Amino acid sequence: MSSEQKPFEPAKGRFAAVEFAMNPEPRCPCILLLDTSGSMGGDPIESLNEGLKQFQTELQGDSLASKRVEVCIYTFGPVKKVVDFVSAGSFTAPKLIADGLTPMGEAINAALDALEARKATYKQNGVSYYRPWVFLMTDGEPTDDVEAAAKRVREAEQKKSVAFFAVGVEEADMTALATITTRPPMKLKGLAFAELFSWLSTSLQRVSQSQVGEVVSLPAVGWNEV
């Protein structure tokens, strides 16, 4: 892992208790699962990095979202935890590099495991939380077995314990994505990462402004190729 990709480690144990005491707001955890395999090299990875910077700026421009939204980033190619759960107000967009294959199943399982651990931390500290989001982006097809991971996603969606979104970029295998999530996967128009992350930040802001458990109307999607 390069120095640019060293993950931010959140407070743990008694330090987590201090963190939650200082900011007792309910949390909206969001995991970004980002394909950084070799095929993302060049313009795609640069556009993705710019989109992440915009995501940071927009979330931090909302005083409530900056306290309630928590961001975690996993990249795959190979699987790396680049940013551990951190409040949006303290989030710094990493500079990602493209390398490796597309171990999507491993990445999904790692993200779901991390999400369960974070929810346990919330519960231990008496912190309420919104339905977590997992946002998967890929430009290819899995190079490992995704069947077990897909089963976990479908079961989590059925229990309403996660909202899982999948986005295909350029030559992504949309058929493979459709087998993973219960929500129809969306195809990004070109390299419109700015529009995608603007939609994501606006959506999370709306969630953070609601009551825990409340159904929220999300903004229209303008970056989807139809």
The domain spans of the chain are 26-205
Amino acid in the structure at residue 126? G
Q: Please check the confidence at residue 7 and state whether its pLDDT lies above 60.
A: no
User: Region 45-70: what's the mean pLDDT?
Assistant: 97
Residue 26 phi/psi, 5-degree rounding, is: -60, 150
What gap in Å lies between CA 107 and CA 92, rounded to an integer? 21
Q: Please check the confidence at residue 164 and state whether its pLDDT lies above 70.
A: yes
Amino acid in the structure at residue 194? A
User: Region 122-133: what's the mean pLDDT?
Assistant: 96
The hierarchical CATH code for the domain 26-205 is: 3.40.50.410
Q: What is the pLDDT of residue 12?
A: 56
What gap in Å lies between CA 172 and CA 86, rounded to an integer? 29
Q: Please check the confidence at residue 3 and state whether its pLDDT lies above 60.
A: no
Identify the band that residue 8 occupies on the pLDDT scale cut at 50, 70 and 90: very low
Burial (CB < 10 A; 0-12, 13-18, 19+), residue 105, is buried
The strands making up 133-138's β-sheet, listed across from edge to edge, are 80-87, 69-76, 28-35, 133-138, 163-168, 186-187
Q: Please check the confidence at residue 17 and state whether its pLDDT lies above 80.
A: no
What gap in Å lies between CA 190 and CA 200, rounded to an integer? 17
Q: Please check the confidence at residue 52 and state whether its pLDDT lies above 80.
A: yes
What gap in Å lies between CA 146 and CA 164, rounded to an integer? 15
Cβ pair 13, 120 in contact under 8 A: no
In this structure, are strands 28-35 and 133-138 parallel, antiparallel, or unpaired? parallel
